[in-house]
Structure 1
Amino acid sequence: MKNIIYKIGLIPETSDIIEVYNSSGIKRPTAESERITKMYANSNLIISAWSDSELIGISRAITDYCYACYLSDLAVKEEYQKEGIGKRLIEMTKREIGNETALILLSAPLAMEYYPKIGFEEIKNGFIIKRSK
């Protein structure tokens, strides 16, 4: 296995993010590169995983660093999945936000069994108004 480097605060090229999303299985509006760019420009905690100069994983969150953190995206290229990269991205997110901040996410249906395995607790007290586009 190659040496994986993690970077905090760097916004990768939009085309690289789209490549990770498309490979990972996460459903995002990857045909709309301007929208992906805007998603990252308006997020305040981005952690990326790199193998040499190749972006292979990314997490994107919005947080106040003292009470709540919404982990909006967690994606790892398919060929790098099941190597602990997603788990490491979450560990680094938790370290950055600190112990007094709750880490919250909405799971894709295919990942519902993954999150409890890495320490997340399922909650039943959430609500959503879904996007129309």
Structure 2
Amino acid sequence: MTGAVVYALEPDLAADAFQGVLVASGLAPRRPADDLERLGRMLAASDLIVTARLDGRLVGVARTLTDFAFCAYLSDLAVARDVQGRGIGRRLIAETRAAAGPEVSLLLTAAPGIEGYYEAIGMTRVPQAFRFDRER
């Protein structure tokens, strides 16, 4: 892996490619990674999918739901473990923000233990957020 990381919008990202990044990143246990049909529905309903490729290999994905006018929810940020620490996650977030536009606020839910990463890159913790957990 010697080339530059290439970032792109990939609205038609395949479910099996997304699955591979979820597994490589360690995020698979927190997602329905064993259900390609469900991953496909997740991708199809996404408004913004930003990818990172290194030497052609998909190493990162940022999957977002947004109205491109006011708000965006960055639902999945996955970077393969073997390339973490190279700024790929930070750049995926920056590319997502740029594509969503300057009028849009970006919200995400951090995986347990990762909160410090988001604070370190300048995101503000939002203690007023609420949610209902998935039933399945």
Q: TM-score, normalised by structure 1?
A: 0.95
Query: Which amino acid in 1 is paired with 2:48?
Result: L
Deviations 1:59-101 (A, max 9, x none): 0000011110000000000101000000000001111112211
Tell me, yes or no, if the aligned pair for 1:70 and 1:103 is still in contact at 8 Å: yes
Write out the 4+ residue segments of structure 1 that deviate beyond 3 Å after TM superposition.
Answer: none
Provide the C-alpha distance between the structure 2 equivalents of 1:10 and 1:97, rounded to a whole number of angstroms.
14
Deviations 1:31-61 (A, max 9, x none): 1110101000000100001113211100000
Provide the C-alpha distance between the structure 2 equivalents of 1:36 and 1:47, rounded to a whole number of angstroms.
16
Provide the C-alpha distance between the structure 1 equivalents of 2:129 and 2:54, rounded to a whole number of angstroms.
36
The answer as to 2:26 corresponding to 1:25 is yes
Aligned-pair CA distance for 1:13: 2.1
Provide the C-alpha distance between the structure 1 equivalents of 2:14 and 2:56, rounded to a whole number of angstroms.
12
Provide the C-alpha distance between the structure 1 equivalents of 2:10 and 2:24, rounded to a whole number of angstroms.
22
Aligned residues with identical type, % of pairs:
35
Provide the C-alpha distance between the structure 1 equivalents of 2:32 and 2:120, rounded to a whole number of angstroms.
28
Deviations 1:2-39 (A, max 9, x none): 21111113332221211110111112111111010100
Query: Which amino acid in 1 is paired with 2:98?
Result: R
Query: Which amino acid in 1 is paired with 2:59?
Result: I
Provide the C-alpha distance between the structure 2 equivalents of 1:11 and 1:72, rounded to a whole number of angstroms.
17
SS in 2 for 1:113: helix
Tell me, yes or no, if the aligned pair for 2:25 and 2:78 is still in contact at 8 Å: yes
Q: How does 1:8-87 map to 2 (within 5 A)?
A: 8-26=9-27, 27-87=30-90
Q: Paired residues, what number?
A: 133
